[in-house]
Structures are given as structure tokens and as C-alpha cells.
Amino acid sequence: MFTMDFGSRPLDDLLDDVGLKHAFDKNLEKASAYARALAMDALPPFARRTGEDQDHAAIEALAHEIQRGFKELVVLGTGGSSLGAQAALAIARYRPSTGVTVHTPDSLCPFEMDRLFATLDPNETHVLSISKSGTTAETLAQLLAFRAWLEPQTKRPLKDHFSFITEPKPSALRAYGEALGSHIVEHPLDVGGRFSVLTTVGMVPVAAAGLSVKGFRHGAHEIYKAVGSVPETTAAVIGAALTHTLAEHRGVTQVLLMAYADALRAFTRWHGQLWAESLGKDGKGTTPIRAVGPVDQHSQLQLFLDGPDDKFSTFIVVPSYGKGPRLDPKAAKDNGLDYMAGRTIGDTVTCQARATQDALRARGRIIRQLTINALDEENIGALFMSFMLETVVMAHLMGVDAFDQPAVEESKILTRKYLAELE
């Protein structure tokens, strides 16, 4: 699980300093009441389904089939049909490999597809196509291209090379999978793509890579239990109430998620879709910014510190004192790194995360830190659930529907029109 703090002083004092305690308390009360009602009446399906584990057998069956037959897994899907899996899979590279190697070409890119075709062995490659709607052009185009690459080269039945996750209703993707005779697993009808990471969508790739589905779901379960019973103490509810208060009263228009671990880079991308697509509506919304430390200290921190005071920042930190290579004291001193002499890379990064937040706090910013003690399934599952619930509670405070995305459809229609007009 993870802990939350706002630095050395309690949040209430920080809010008092800027005259926002009363406004925050009102928002927290409203957010907590909503979270309690959600838990009592009907948890959002993305949370309820995660707790029931009803699809566990289907997830494991497909994952084992892939593992038994192949070394490489290509997950075709975009947006919510890929970002969650990528965020979850990012911890796999720190474990001994027990599953397949997963590739996630989530953006339609000719150069990336050519690279995959040039490097993958067709006989060892399984292609899992994920699309809730089953109509997304990018995913269908990739699928057709992969089949054209595989079919002339494979020695095995073509149907075994493909599997599908899509809704149980008619669509181009479902029809394609049925015609091939391949394994099709259901995408739940009542869970939107950006909320689907803990369903079959995120969990089949995770299981195929050898990670624990139960671990992710257990971490998530602990969070939604807490949000239902003691909402006013949870990161999800406090985070939503605070962001909304700062947006209403302090001109906050952006939310920064800065993670101090490479493995959380993909998590910040997942969060970007979740926040933007759920909340950017009716002329309202706050823009998500994704950053990873320390690298973005050297690219974006100048703006965060010295630019407009229009951001609410959350740092995710994995304390790593004593971890990683230790710098030889003499070599460090000889090269101008006296302050790192005998220290580990983990010591350095942990101190950098603290220093960056303190520098921001010194400029009067309210900064939230979420601390996880390890990059494991439970912690990442907990973060997934916490941010999904935070988004839903935030939508309630803002008065928008967290679960639709009507505006995106306009650009899809135009893309089809432009393609039809090509000479």
C-alpha cells in the first residue's frame, strides 16, 4: 500500500495559511459523502468487478495458452486498451523472467511496426488485440498488418497466433476473431477503457508476463474498502477535494504527477488519459502533466518552480536509501561529487525527490507525496484504484460525467473523411 503526506506540516495548517481550510472542509465533506454512497449503493463496476475476481479463470487460461506456445506477446490496443497494461507491466523488468516478453505498440507508427516485423520471430509471436468497442481504426489496422506479416511465415495454425479482448457484442474486431477461430475473452460492458486496467484488459498481459493478478487486485481491494469506510482519510478523497478547492480558489489549471522511479513512467501516462479524458468536459478540467524524476528536474522543473503557480503536484516516491550501486568515495571526490562519496544511487534519488518538493514548498505550493515501499503488484494495484476513485470523486465535485468522452468522436469522424479523400 502507500502513505500520503504533505511535508512536515499537516494539510490543515497549510490550508489555514492560504485561507482555504473552510472551502476544503466543505469539499471534503461532499467528496466523502459521495464516496460513502458509492460504496453503499453500488461501487463503480471497475471496483466491484475487481473485488469479485469473477474473471480470474478466463485471464489465467488465456495467459497460460500464450505462455505455453510463445516467447513474444504483442498487445495491440490504444488508449485505455494499452496504457494500463503498460503501467502494470513496467515492474516486470525488475523480476526474473517467468513469462513472455510483452510489446505494446500503442500508437499507430509505421516505423515501429517495421521495427517489430524486423526483430520478432513470427513463429514465436502471439498477437493479443484489445479494443472495447472493437472498431478502433488504429488497432484494426495493426491487426491486419500483423496477420499479413505472420500468415506467410508461420508453421503453426494461424488461429493460435491471435487472441482478442473485446465487448460481447457485434463489432469488426469480434467478427474477425470469430472468423479466425481464435480465443476471445470478454471486455466487461460496464467498464470504460481508461478504468479497465484491473479487468481482463490489463490483467491478461500482466499474467502472461508472469506477474500476479491477485496481487494487483488485492492492493486495489484494500483501497476501495478504505474509501468506502473512512473516505475522509484516503488519498483518493482528500486528493479530489484538494484539487477541486485549489482549482476553484487558487487558479490551479494543471495537475502534475511526478514519479521518482523509471518503472512509474508508464503509470504517469496511464494517469494522463484517466484524468484528461474523464474530466476535460463542458469547458472544465485540469490538464495532467507527466514527469519522472530525477530526469525531469533537468527539463521541466524550472517551470514548476518559477513559472505560474497554477499546478497541484503529486509526487510518487519509492524510498531507495542504500539501493543501487554505491559510488566509490575517492572516485566521487576526484570528479566533483564529494556529496555523493560513498552514497548509493538510491540515496541520491531519494534525496533529490525530497529536495525538489521542499523547493516547491518554499515557494508556497501545497505538494502531496505518496510513498510506496516497493515496486510490487499490491502497491501498483493500490495506486491504480486510488487514482481511479480520485478521478470519479473529482468528476462528482466538478459536476461532469467521468465515464464518457463525446468530443474524441469528432476527430475520429474527420480522420475517416480525410482517408476517404486521399487520391
List active site positions. Answer: 277, 298, 412
d(CA 374, CA 383): 12
Size of the site for ligand F6P (CB under 6 A): 14
The residue to which cell 490496443 is assigned: 77
In the chain, count of helices (H) and strands (E)?
Answer: 17, 10
- In 3D space, the residue among 353, 357, 356, 336 whose CA is nearest the CA of residue 345 turns out to be 353
Minimum CB–partner distance for residue 354 and ligand F6P (Å): 35
42-71: contacts with ligand F6P (CB under 6 A): none
> Which CB atom, from 81 or from 234, has the smaller least distance to ligand F6P?
81
Is residue 172 within 8 Å of residue 121, measured between CB atoms?
Answer: no
379 binds ligand F6P (CB under 6 A): no
Nearer to ligand F6P, 75 or 238 (CB): 75
Q: Figure out which of the listed residues 136, 278, 300, 391 binds ligand F6P, where binding follows CB under 6 A.
A: 136
The reply to whether 131 sits near ligand F6P by the rule CB under 6 A is yes
Give whichever of 334 and 409 is closer to ligand F6P, judged by the CB atom. Answer: 409
Does residue 139 bind ligand F6P (CB under 6 A)?
yes
Name the phi and psi angles at 51, rounded to 5: -75, -30
Of 297, 302, 344, nearest to 323 (Cα)?
344
Q: Which lies closer to ligand F6P via its Cβ, residue 357 or residue 405?
A: 405
Region 186-205 residues binding ligand F6P, contact defined as CB under 6 A: 193-194
- Cβ closer to ligand F6P: 130 or 349? 130
Q: Does 80 bind ligand F6P (CB under 6 A)?
A: yes
Contact stretch for ligand F6P (CB under 6 A) within 15-23, 74-82, 292-300, 312-320: 74-82
Residue 49, CB-side half-sphere exposure with 13 Å CA sphere: 20
Q: Are 163 and 66 in contact (CB under 8 A)?
A: yes
Whether the CA torsion 242, 243, 248, 251 is positive or negative: it is positive
For ligand F6P, the closer CB: 158 or 408: 408
Q: Of 12, 408, 414, 416, which one interacts with ligand F6P (CB under 6 A)?
A: 408
CB 104 within 8 A of CB 89: yes
Residue in 72, 106, 277, 377 binding ligand F6P, rule: CB under 6 A: 277
Rounded to whole angstroms, how far apart are CA atoms 36 and 31? 9
Q: Which is nearer to ligand F6P, 290 or 365 (CB)?
A: 290
Piece in contact with ligand F6P (CB under 6 A), picked from 52-60, 78-86, 238-246, 310-318? 78-86
Please report how close the Cβ of residue 135 comes to ligand F6P at its closest, in angstroms.
Answer: 7
Find the shortest distance in angstroms from Cβ 396 to ligand F6P. 20
Please tell me whether residue 371 binds ligand F6P under the rule CB under 6 A.
Answer: no
User: Are 231 and 237 within 8 A, CB to CB?
Assistant: yes
**Binding of residue 405 to ligand F6P (CB under 6 A):** yes
79 binds ligand F6P (CB under 6 A): yes
- Tell me the C-alpha distance between 245 and 270, whole Å: 24
Using CB under 6 A, which of the segments 17-25, 105-113, 128-136, 331-339 binds ligand F6P? 128-136
Per CB under 6 A, 141 contacts ligand F6P: no
- Give the 3-state secondary structure of 171-240: CHHHHHHHHHCCEEEECCCCCCHHHCCCCHHHHHHHHHCCCCHHHHHHHHHHHHHHHHHCHHHCHHHHHH
Q: How far is the CB of 72 from ligand F6P (least distance, A)?
A: 22
Q: Which three cell numbers stand for residue 38?
A: 458509492
Closest CA to 394 of 38, 21, 12, 59: 38
366 closest CA partner among 11, 4, 3, 1: 11
Residues in contact with ligand F6P by the rule CB under 6 A: 78-81, 131-133, 136, 139, 193-194, 277, 405, 408
